[in-house]
Structure 1
Amino acid sequence: MNMRILAGSLVGSGGILFALGNVLHPLEHSEAAHSAPTWEAAHLIFALGGLLIAAGLPLLIAVSQALRPSKLASIGGVVLAIAFAALAPGAWFEAYVAPLHGVAEQVEAGGGGAVNAMAGMVWMASLVAFGAGLAWRGARRSARLAGVALLVAALVLIVGPGLPVVEGLVIIPATVLTGLGLLTVGAASARTTAEPVPVNA
């Protein structure tokens, strides 16, 4: 299989699953949400999506013709891939441990909570870096628009906690936009297998 198709397929399908998993997530973390029929599926689906993105993003950066060489996009993308992989244990924790009252609090109060918080902060920072790199150096309009989508998603996630609304009304649309942005850049990369990239796409 062509490496660009492989990379684009991994990132694109990962973006779809990341968006879908977040759509299935309840609007808030609560005792009632823990018993929701989609609770486990939501976390496992977006974790799988994150792992596919983690596997495909470094390869996409290396071979994609939809991206012009950029240290910001390259470093941001590789760190974002690592951060997506680092989020998977936290998703598993939310799916199976968070509903166990007492156990969850002990884990979150210790090293597990610190690691998960650090992974989240790195994910946010690298999302901004990769999005900015795409918006600035995307070789195709679709890649540049994907970068703008990632930046908007990051901005919403940053300012969202200060808004007087249920957390899911902020987090879910932003993470869905993130998934769709990654789907877009994955598709743009896969489509450039047999055609030259115009300089002013």
Structure 2
Amino acid sequence: MRTDITAGLLVGAGGVLFAVGNALHPLEHSEAAHAAATWEAAHLIFGLGGLLLAAGLPLLVLAGGAVRPSRLAAAAAILLAVTFAGLAPGAWFEAFIAPLPGGVDKTVEAGPAGTVNAVIGFGWILSVVLFGVALIRRPARPPVRWAGIGLVAAAVVLVAGPGIPVVEGLWIIPASMVAGLALAVTGIVPLRGTAKP
């Protein structure tokens, strides 16, 4: 299979799964949320989506179908891939460790794992902004520019969100869904017309 098709499928599917997983996530982290029917599925689905994105984003930039190659696009795609891969253990932790009784999750988060998770989260938001800017500046096709705008907007909401006086899921979930769908567009748009022999 051609690299551009593989990259497009990985990023398209990964972005959709990332959005769907976030859509299934309860609005807050609580004991009731841990018992929700969608708790494990949400984390496993968006974690899998993140791994597909991690595998596909560098290939997508290499193939050049979504964004014209540049240093910014390459660096942002690699950083975004690394941070998406880094989110996977956190998704597994949230799915299976956070619901355990006795405050196990708080103990783990208070140690080095919490620091690593915070660094990965910061790197993810930064790379979303950088990749969004790369898509806005050098899109290979017009819809990709809109995807870049969606990525930057999602990152702004994620950074500003803690100042909004509502349950965190009311801004984290939609912003994460927008990021996932924007990345899906970035992967899917170049696939149009690639079915040539």
TM-score (ref. length: structure 2): 0.96
Distance 2:195 2:146 in 1: 22
Secondary structure at the counterpart of residue 190 of structure 2: helix
Instruction: List per-residue Cα deviations over 1:51-100 (Å, max 9, x = no partner).
Output: 00000111111012331122111111110010000000000000011112
Structure 2 residue runs of 5 or longer lacking an equivalent are: none
Instruction: List per-residue Cα deviations over 1:93-135 (Å, max 9, x = no partner).
Output: 0001111232111111111111111110000000000000001
Partner of 2:27: 27
2:169 maps to 1:168? yes
Partner of 1:43: 43
Secondary structure at the counterpart of residue 98 of structure 2: coil
Q: % of aligned pairs identical?
A: 60
Q: Is the 8 A contact 2:61 2:68 kept in 1?
A: no
Secondary structure at the counterpart of residue 170 of structure 2: helix
Alignment of 1:149-160 (within 5 A): 149-160=150-161
Q: Is the 8 A contact 1:68 1:137 kept in 2?
A: yes
* Aligned CA distance change for structure 1 residues 75 and 173 (closer, same or farther; 3 Å): same
Q: Is the 8 A contact 2:135 2:147 kept in 1?
A: yes
Secondary structure at the counterpart of residue 162 of structure 2: helix
- The number of aligned residues is 195
Partner of 2:2: 2
Alignment of 1:124-135 (within 5 A): 124-135=125-136
Secondary structure at the counterpart of residue 148 of structure 1: helix
Q: Offset at 1:194? A: 6.4
Instruction: List per-residue Cα deviations over 1:122-170 (Å, max 9, x = no partner).
Output: 0000000000000111121011111001001001101011000110010
Partner of 2:57: 57
Distance 1:194 1:144 in 2: 23
Secondary structure at the counterpart of residue 149 of structure 2: helix
Distance 2:56 2:163 in 1: 34
Structure 1 residue runs of 5 or longer lacking an equivalent are: 196-201
Distance 1:41 1:104 in 2: 19
Partner of 1:191: 192
Distance 2:193 2:61 in 1: 13
Cα RMSD after superposing both structures: 1.2
